Amino acid sequence: MRARLIPTGLSVLCAASVLCWLAASPTPDAAAQTRVVPSSPADVRLSFAPIVGRTAPAVVTVSAAKVVANRNPLMDDPFFRRFFGREFGEPREARSLGSGVIVDASGLVVTNNHVVDGADQVKISLGDRREFDVDVVLKDARTDLAILRIRDTRGERFPVLEFGNSDEMQVGDMVLAIGNPFGVGQTVTHGIVSALARTQVGISDFQFFIQTDAAINPGNSGGPLVDMSGRIVGINTAIFSRSGGSQGVGFAIPANMVRVVVASAMTGGTAVKRPWLGAKLQAVTADIAEKFGLKRPAGAVVTNVTPASPAARAGLKTGDVIVSVDNQAVDDPNAFDYRFVTRPLGGQAQLGVVRAGRETKVAIALETAPEVPLEELTIRARSPFQGLKIVNLTTRLAEQLRVGSSVEGVVVVDVADGALAERYGFQRGDLVIAVNNESVARTRDLERLAQGSARRWSVTIMRGGQQITAELGG
């Protein structure tokens, strides 16, 4: 049986429960806590109850509902309507449950994007069983995080959890996972940090996860991973499993990444503001390490620099190998992305760069990519593209999709349910670059080509950094 990576949102149901043992007494400051190995049976009779008592009230269950079109063409026939009833083939409501955590007393909640994505209605319930409607104020698919705000709070101040510094966590540190697995109710599980900086997980664009053996199951998505001071060090998001249940390999988004998304929401933003590098990077292989005289295959090779970008103004060059950000080592492009985008906007970052066999420092400005109007357009002509909502490729979108500055195309931002484009397999984030051997540079190009009368369509797209050409029927 093959292992699967499973986001831990739960369709139909989800929740979490259990207390365990403690190896060291908690201290007020996570950075100053003393790490002690248990030396006697008495040491493991201590309880997590004080930590749970402080943290659990801020953990919520997130319920998302979506109306799913389920129209059956047979219902147009009076015969079938007579024998199967009017409800046969009618739209149905799909529900999913996940977890979340309140991070601001006014009612700001963090959860996973995959828990609420596409939902028509979202609610949360507190540990005391009260329910509240919420608004989704920000969704960030790149990190798989979403920020909700409780409606009609009537001035109530909610219990909150503070963020810890996830960069201070060490392998072996004890942690608690709190959430609502399988819909059974709020549950607490314990474990340790099994690994840090996992970058080959494949859940979201930013790959830099905390791995834990604390039991995480479907429904735990969006719930907090807390340290022994009761602070958030991560947001639980996925498990690696052969059975669909916990097998001791769970992944959490580091708190320092979550802070960036929360900060954007708290300033009223509907999109996350992050530093923009303006360069395309590649992992360092053993051959590249030997070529550049590196001691080991680690770092990120610059393969393309966008003109007038922060990277270009800082003097970054093709062939440079970035090995650190503000003296924190980076092993690959994913690690660089995490270190770079969690830096505060407005200042500078010092990149450690190996150039011509010698390491040097490059100061790069921490600024966002330039804003460009998206020129949104929906394809309505009957073709394989019918139902696509597309925008022109901007500098910011190119950065998100990790494509070079020389690439042209239009980006799919939505696919209408039941449309021809959905049947042909188009997905959000696809970059359409050519149709029938004709380049697509702007949205109007694809709109014009979609109005053609071709019986067969040759379509070239980029998806996940890979270029794909497919032959589609008319």
SS3 68: strand
Q: Please report the DSSP string for 264-294 in residue order.
A: HHHTT-SS-------EEEEEPPHHHHHHTT-
Q: What is the amino acid identity at position 70? A: N
Alpha-carbon span 422 to 69, nearest angstrom: 13
Using CA atoms, how far residue 106 sits from 132, 137, 162, 225, 401, in Å, is 13, 14, 14, 22, 34
Tokens, residue 39:
């030396």
Same domain for 192 and 306?
no
Are 116 and 231 in the same domain?
yes
Domain identity same for 226 and 290: no
- And the tokens for 238? 């996925």
Tokens of 413: 């931002």
The pLDDT tens digits of the residues spanning 87-105 come to: 555 556 667 789 999 999 9
Between 246 and 360, name the one with better pLDDT: 360
Number of domains in the chain: 3
In a domain, 123, yes or no: yes
Question: Within a domain: residue 372?
Answer: no
Model confidence over 445-462: pLDDT tens digits? 999 999 887 778 899 998
Answer left, alpha or beta for residue 144, where phi above 0 means left and psi between -120 and 50 means alpha: left
141/23: higher pLDDT: 141
405 domain residue, yes or no? yes
**312 plus 216 within the same structural domain:** no
Q: Do 334 and 293 have their domain in common?
A: yes
Dist CA 458 CA 467 (whole Å): 13
The closest alpha carbon to 251, from 237, 232, 265, 266, belongs to 237
Is 283 found in the same domain as 156? no
Q: Are 92 and 70 in contact (CB under 8 A)?
A: yes
What is the structure's pLDDT at 19?
Answer: 32
Structure confidence at residue 21 (pLDDT): 34
**Nearest by Cα to 377 from 348, 412, 342, 346:** 412
Q: How confident is the model at residue 28 (pLDDT cuts 50, 70, 90)?
A: very low
User: Model pTM?
Assistant: 0.73
User: Contact at 8 Å (CB) between 300 and 353?
Assistant: no
Answer yes or no: is 298 within a domain: yes
What was the pLDDT predicted at 466? 81
CB 345 within 8 A of CB 365: no
More confident residue, 374 or 366: 366
Strand partners, 226: 176, 232
Query: pLDDT by residue (tens digit) across 241-273?
Result: 666 666 778 999 999 999 999 999 998 888 888
Q: Do 221 and 195 touch, CB atoms closer than 8 A?
A: no
User: Does residue 384 lie within any of the structural domains?
Assistant: yes
Tens digit of each residue's pLDDT (9 = 90 or more) over 175-212? 999 999 988 999 999 999 999 987 766 666 677 899 99
Domain boundary among 332, 365, 398: 365
**Which pLDDT does position 306 carry in this prediction?**
84
∠ CA 81-87-88, nearest 5°, is: 60
Phi–psi pair at 340, nearest 5 degrees: -75, -50
Boundary-marking domain end, from 272, 304, 329: 272
| Poorest-pLDDT segment among 4-18, 187-201, 297-311, 408-422 | 4-18
Given a contact cutoff of 8 angstroms between Cβ atoms, the answer to whether 319 and 326 are in contact is: no
Res 315 pLDDT > 80: yes
Assess if residue 39 is contained within a domain.
no
Mean pLDDT along residues 360-371: 90
User: What band does 327 get if pLDDT is binned at 50, 70 and 90?
Assistant: very high
Please indicate, yes or no, whether residues 257 and 291 belong to a single structural domain of this protein: no
> Quick check: 372 pLDDT over 90?
no
Which amino acid appears at position 107 of this protein? G
At 245, list the tokens: 């249940």
**Are residues 240 and 302 part of one domain?**
no
Angle at CA of residue 180, ends 174 and 183, nearest 5°? 145
For the chain, how big is the Rg over CA atoms in Å? 24
Give percent above pLDDT 90 in the chain: 46
Would residue 85 count as lying in a domain? yes
pLDDT recorded at residue 85: 55
Q: Which residue has the higher pLDDT, 401 or 427?
A: 427
**Spatial distance between the Cα atoms of 212 and 223, rounded to a whole number of angstroms:** 14
- Residue 188 domain-assigned (yes or no): yes
pLDDT of residue 16: 35
pLDDT on residue 47: 85
**DSSP output for 112-128:** EHHHHTT-SEEEEE-TT
- pLDDT over threshold 60, residue 395: yes
* Residues 59 and 137 placed together within one structural domain of the fold: yes
Contact 334, 207 (CB under 8 A): yes
pLDDT on residue 151? 93
240's CB contacts (< 8 A; 6+ apart) are 3, 4, 5, 6, 247, 249, 250, 251
- CA 297/CA 76 separation, integer angstroms: 63
- Its domain, for residue 446, covers 377-473
Domain with residue 295: its CATH number is 2.30.42.10
- Residue 175 sits in a domain whose CATH number is 2.40.10.120
Q: In terms of Cα–Cα distance, which of 39, 55, 45, 56 is closest to 22? A: 45
CA pair distance 33, 73, nearest whole angstrom: 64
Nearest alpha-carbon partner for 212 in 158, 169, 164: 169
Residue 408 has pLDDT above 50, yes or no: yes
Contact 92, 150 (CB under 8 A): no
- The residue from 365, 387, 409 where one domain ends is 365
Distance of CA 46 to the CA centre of its chain: 36
- Say whether both 81 and 98 belong to one domain: yes
- Whether 266 and 306 map to the same domain: the answer is no
The answer on 301 and 267 residing in a single domain is: no
Q: Which active-site residues does the annotation give? A: 114, 144, 221
